[in-house]
Amino acid sequence: MLTVVHIAPNREAAEAAKARLEEEGLLVVVRAVEEVQRGERRYYEVLVPQGEAEEALAILNASRQL
């Protein structure tokens, strides 16, 4: 089962998060999600296998600290 570990405001940010996680060997899926209240704006979910969610969050949090 896949778990959402990040919600990105655009495709570029989602792909950047995906690339960072894949560098660490994680399986990553990006999925578009429409936000009805904001009209045409799209958000993107970054998902990983449930068993890798903690590791993925640690990687993403460490990347933000740089």
Indicate the pTM of the whole model: 0.86
| pLDDT per position as a tens digit, 4-16 | 999 999 999 999 9
- Contact between 28 and 46 under an 8 Å Cβ cutoff? The reply is yes
**Can you give the pLDDT at residue 42?**
83
Domain ranges of the chain: 2-65
Residues 6+ apart with CB under 8 A from 47: 2, 3, 4, 5, 28, 29, 30, 31
Burial class (CB in 10 A: 0-12, 13-18, 19+), 14: buried
* Mean predicted lDDT score pLDDT of the chain: 91
